[in-house]
Every structure is written in C-alpha cells, then in structure tokens.
C-alpha cells in the first residue's frame, strides 16, 4: 500500500499541471495557517487557542510539506554532523550575545508563565510551530532552489518571517518612529535569521534549521529574566549574529574542484550568494548608520538657506548634543512641523532657567522662530559635499511619479 501511494505521488510530481497544483497546495496551506492562527484562533478560549488550534495549524502546514517531500516533489538532504554542530554553535552564540547585552544594559522579568503545566504547554506550542514552519521552509527552498538558489533563499527568509507577524500588528504602525522601530526590532532581525534558516534548510533539510532557531526561542520562553534592551540594541544583535553565520555557512557548499559536487549546488550559485552577501552588508550598514546607532546620522541638505556653507546635495553628519553644550556659531538640526532644518545658532537666550536658541540660515536675512531644547536633534560635526545628490534626484522622481 505504501509503495502504491508513493508511485501515485511520483506520477503526480512528473506532470507540469500537477506541479502547479503542488505549489498551490503549499501556498493554500500557508494561507490557511495564517488565517487560523491570527483570525480564527484568537476568538476561541485562550487554552483552546494556544494549546490546540495554533499547534495543530502549524503541524498541518508541516504535514503538507512533508507529504510533498515524501512523494518526491522536493528532497530533504541528509544533514552532516558538521552542519548540526554549526547550527548548534550559532544558536548558542546568538543566545549568548543577547544574554551578555542584558548583563550590560539591564535585565527584566519574563512575560511568560513558568509554572510546570504552563511550561509544558509552551514547549508543545514551540515544538509544533517550529517543526511545521521549518518543514514548510525546507520543502519550499529545496524545490525552488533547483531553479534559482538565490530566489529560494530570499523568499525562504521573507515568507516565513511574514507568517510570524500577526495581521493586527501592521495596523499599529501609524508613525515613522513606530515603523522604524518595528523594522529594526522585528522585521530586519527576522529576515536575517530567516536567511540562515533557509540556507541551513537547503544544505541539510529542516533539522539543522530547527536546531538553530530552537535555542534562542527556548531561552526567550523559559528564562525567568530576559534582556531589557532598546530596539536599536536588540535589532543590532539580532541582525549581526545571523548575518555573520550566513557568511560562514556558505563555506559548506561544495567547491568546483570536488568531483562529486551535486548538480543542485553549482559554484555559480555560491558566487551569486556571496555577491548578495556584500549587498546585505552595505544595506544594513546604511540602515544602522541612518538610525544613529553609531553615534551620528546623515542628513541631506535640500535647500540653499545655508549657502555658501552648505548647498543642496551636501550630506551633513548630525551628532546628538545636550542643549547646554550648544554654542553660538554651531550649526544645529532642529525639528519643525514640516520637517527638519539645519541652521546656525546666532544667539542663545536664557530666561527663568529655560534655554532658547535663535537661529538663522547663512543665506537668509531674517531670524527663524525661536528654537526650544526639545526641538534640537543634534549638531553638525562633518560636511560631505555633493554626496546627497542621488537622494535628491530620487526624491524628485518620486514626486514626479506620485
């Protein structure tokens, strides 16, 4: 009987029409899980929701993926012992990095229950969701990777990350600071971790990816205290450690010199991934630079009110500064309802122990409205001429199109 079903599934795989049906089955099962977990389950009793409906939904997704793999639509390679060790060590390093950051910046109490029955329920939920998601990721990456490994790894990181974000979470992002904090603390680290899990799945199936992701999750859910970090620190660690792992993980690919190199992992694909690694490094460095994580952040001058000191297209680096440290002659950035302005301080007024800054553009003949300390964003510490021109051109194109 087992061979009969296997034969039928192998026949299913060989037809182009049924291959599309397999993709549809995987997509529909993922959509069903998302709707069950984030729309239907929250309307049920808490115990039924968390310990029954959600785990079974994730196992349903993993079951569909495993069935497609068993039928030969995709193949899960046997992981090597070295790959298991790497996944374990990377998970330990990531967990340790967060713990050390907590010791430096402070620890807080965990929001998760730690009574024995609750711990067992949490472990059941974690195991079901982790196995289901990583089984689906491995099947997806192994199938799509036969055509484009780069696309498989990218989508294998993006789609599962989006599956883990509740639908209602997007509705809470109303202001730019909220959006930036969400991107930095949740989406970007999730994508970085997903890249590692996707590459582990390509090289060794779902088991190494489960091992890698299980360790930080177990620490988060079982530890009585957790690091009390700002979103910037959390995002930096959650992005940097996985991307370092992603870089070293490429060393597990066979080289062209090996005679038994499998057809599914040619050297050209490895080169492609290596190229995109540098793109990721540059993009993430720019992201952290813009958030001010390194102590300064860039600002592109868009007008001529500070000419000839600053002209449109110049990039200035802004460093946070205490209002008491500002001196006459400093060029500061301050916030107005319509955006940020970079002008020179020409007078400092102190009345009833309250500071007020009078600013003026070098090319203007009138003073600005008085600036309060709450409006000050920082002081210009470096000017890079003309480096912001591409940004201004892109802004003009967007305004022209929309």
- 3-state secondary structure at position 106: coil
Q: What is the DSSP letter of 230?
A: -
As a whole number, mean pLDDT of residues 117-122 equals 88
The whole-number pLDDT of residue 362 equals 92
* Domain span including residue 98: 2-291
Please tell me whether residues 135 and 15 are part of one structural domain: yes
Residue 392: pLDDT band (50, 70, 90) is low
Please tell me whether residues 135 and 250 are part of one structural domain: yes
pLDDT at 180 over 50: yes
**Of 263, 291, 319, which marks where a domain is finished?**
291
As a whole number, mean pLDDT of residues 87-105 equals 88
Q: Give the DSSP H or E segment for 164.
A: none
Please tell me whether residues 378 and 354 are part of one structural domain: yes
Residue 400: pLDDT band (50, 70, 90) is low
**Of 269, 291, 313, which marks where a domain is finished?**
291
pLDDT at 161 over 90: yes
- Residues 262 and 164: their CA atoms lie apart, in Å, by 33
The whole-number pLDDT of residue 394 equals 62
Q: Are strands 297-300 and 315-319 parallel, antiparallel or unpaired?
A: antiparallel
Q: Is-contact 203 252, C-beta < 8 A?
A: yes
**Of 291, 306, 332, which marks where a domain is finished?**
291
Q: How many domains does the chain divide into?
A: 2
Please tell me whether residues 362 and 245 are part of one structural domain: no
- Residues 372 and 126: their CA atoms lie apart, in Å, by 50
Identify any residues that bridge with 355 across adjacent strands, giving them in sequence order.
350
Please tell me whether residues 64 and 134 are part of one structural domain: yes
Please tell me whether residues 253 and 283 are part of one structural domain: yes
pTM for this entry: 0.67
Please tell me whether residues 121 and 226 are part of one structural domain: yes
Q: Give the range with max mean pLDDT: 16-25, 115-124, 228-237, 339-348.
A: 339-348
pLDDT at 296 over 90: no
The whole-number pLDDT of residue 260 equals 46
Please tell me whether residues 233 and 343 are part of one structural domain: no
Q: What is the mean pLDDT of the chain?
A: 83
Please tell me whether residues 254 and 364 are part of one structural domain: no
271 or 166, higher pLDDT: 166
Q: Is-contact 326 376, C-beta < 8 A?
A: yes
The whole-number pLDDT of residue 263 equals 43
Please tell me whether residues 265 and 309 are part of one structural domain: no
Name which of 37-51, 74-88, 123-137, 280-294 the model is least confident about.
Answer: 280-294
pLDDT at 363 over 90: yes
Please tell me whether residues 174 and 191 are part of one structural domain: yes
Please tell me whether residues 101 and 248 are part of one structural domain: yes
Tell me the CATH number at 351: 2.10.109.10
Residue 57: pLDDT band (50, 70, 90) is very high
């Amino acid at each position: 009987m087992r061979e009969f079903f296997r034969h039928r599934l192998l026949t299913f795989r060989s037809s182009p029409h049924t291959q599309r049906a397999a993709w549809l089955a995987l997509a529909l099962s993922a959509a069903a899980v998302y709707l069950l977990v984030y729309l239907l389950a929250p309307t049920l009793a808490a115990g039924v929701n968390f310990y029954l409906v959600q785990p079974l939904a994730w196992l349903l997704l993993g079951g569909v993926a495993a069935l497609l793999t068993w039928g030969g639509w995709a193949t899960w390679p046997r992981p090597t012992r070295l790959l298991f060790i790497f996944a374990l060590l990377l998970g330990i390093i990531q967990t340790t990095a967060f713990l050390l950051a907590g010791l430096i910046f402070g620890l807080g109490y965990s929001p998760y229950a730690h009574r024995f029955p609750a711990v067992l329920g949490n472990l059941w939920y974690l195991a079901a969701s982790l196995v289901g998601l990583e089984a689906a990721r491995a099947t997806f990456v192994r199938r799509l990777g036969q055509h484009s490994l780069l696309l498989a790894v990218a989508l294998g990181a993006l789609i599962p990350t989006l599956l883990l974000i509740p639908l209602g979470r997007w509705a809470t992002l109303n202001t730019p600071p909220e959006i930036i904090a969400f991107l930095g603390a949740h989406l970007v680290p999730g994508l970085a971790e997903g890249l590692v899990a996707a590459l582990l799945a390509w090289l060794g199936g779902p088991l190494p990816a489960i091992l890698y992701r299980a360790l930080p999750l177990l620490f988060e859910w079982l530890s009585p205290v957790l690091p009390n970090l700002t979103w910037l620190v959390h995002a930096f660690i959650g992005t940097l450690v996985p991307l370092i792992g992603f870089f070293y993980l490429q060393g597990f690919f066979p080289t062209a010199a090996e005679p038994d190199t499998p057809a599914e992992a040619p050297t050209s694909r490895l080169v492609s991934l290596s190229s995109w690694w540098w793109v990721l490094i540059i993009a993430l460095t720019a992201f952290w630079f813009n958030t001010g994580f390194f102590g300064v952040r860039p600002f592109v001058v868009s007008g001529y009110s500070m000419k000839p000191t600053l002209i449109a297209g110049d990039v200035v680096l802004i460093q946070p500064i205490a209002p008491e440290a500002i001196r006459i002659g400093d060029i500061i950035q301050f916030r107005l309802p319509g955006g940020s302005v970079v002008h020179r301080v020409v007078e400092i007024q102190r009345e009833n122990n309250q500071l007020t800054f009078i600013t003026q553009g070098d090319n203007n003949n009138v003073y600005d409205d008085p600036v309060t300390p709450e409006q000050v964003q920082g002081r210009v510490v470096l000017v890079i001429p003309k480096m912001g021109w591409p940004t201004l051109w892109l802004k003009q194109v967007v305004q022209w199109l929309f």
